[in-house]
């Protein structure tokens, strides 16, 4: 199963090799925006609140 997944991923990368540089550029540009930072902060806050709430509910 892992071999099929690996070769499928490599095949897709080869098929869309001309778009690969644009995709990496888009990821790097979008990763360092205020929207990304606020989303990461919000996600971490929700995770912490859920962890505390579940821990209190269990014990």
Q: 22-51: buried (b, 16+ CB within 10 Å) or exposed (e) per residue? A: eeeeeeeeeeeeeeeeeeeeeeeeeeeeee
Backbone phi, then psi, for 46, in 5-degree steps?
-65, -40
Q: Does the pLDDT at position 58 exceed 90?
A: no
Distance CA 31, CA 25 (A): 10
More confident residue, 59 or 32: 32
- In this prediction, residue 56 carries a pLDDT of 86
Q: What is the mean pLDDT of residues 5-9?
A: 97
**Each residue of 20-49: pLDDT tens digit?**
999 999 999 999 999 999 999 999 999 999
- Whole-model pTM: value is 0.57
Q: In the chain, what percentage of residues exceed pLDDT 70?
A: 100
Residue 11: left (phi > 0), alpha (psi -120 to 50), or beta?
alpha
């Amino acid at each position: 199963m892992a071999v099929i997944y690996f070769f499928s991923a490599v095949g897709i990368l080869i098929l869309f090799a001309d778009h690969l540089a644009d995709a990496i550029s888009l990821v790097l540009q979008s990763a360092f925006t205020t929207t990304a930072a606020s989303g990461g902060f919000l996600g971490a806050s929700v995770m912490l609140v859920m962890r505390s709430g579940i821990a209190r509910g269990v014990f």
